[in-house]
Amino acid sequence: MKTDRPAYLSVDEYIASFPEHTRLQLEEIRNTIKELAPGAQEKISYQMPAFFLNRILVYFAGYAKHIGLYPGAAAIEVFKDELSGYKTSKGTIQFPLGEPLPIELIKRIVQFRIEENSKVHKK
């Protein structure tokens, strides 16, 4: 598969590749995840930032018109009512650029994923 995106070596490099307004929102999501999951490993996976805690916790990415958060299908289903104002798909949420990020909602989604991952890890 050919892509026009460069091969990012770090999350810092990934975030630095965006315009300032996008960088600020990517950093806000990144810092929120780090705060909730300080033991999670940060890495680039599928050419986007990801946090790993026993397995993938969440991905996030910047685009021309939105920030994508990829918490998986179960999280989308659990939070579907609160996500009704955003474009979603099976495992993706799109937060429009230029609008404040719903940080409290993002925190609850990440916490859900932490709990979900810990249950899988205990099996």
pLDDT at 2: 40
Which positions ≥6 away from 83 have C-beta within 8 Å?
76, 93, 105
Please tell me the pTM assigned to this model.
Answer: 0.90
**Domains along the chain?**
11-118 (3.90.1150.200)
- Distance between start and end Cα atoms, the chain: 36
How much is the CA Rg of the chain, to the nearest whole Å?
14
Q: Is residue 99 a contact partner of residue 21, using CB atoms and an 8 Å limit?
A: no
Q: Which of 60, 45, 63 is nearest to 9 (CA)?
A: 45
Instruction: Kindly report, residue by residue over 35-50, the tens digit of the pLDDT.
Output: 999 999 999 999 999 9
Neighbours of 95 (CB within 10 A): 22
Neighbours of 101 (CB within 10 A): 18
Instruction: Kindly report, residue by residue over 14-40, the tens digit of the pLDDT.
Output: 999 999 999 999 999 999 999 999 999
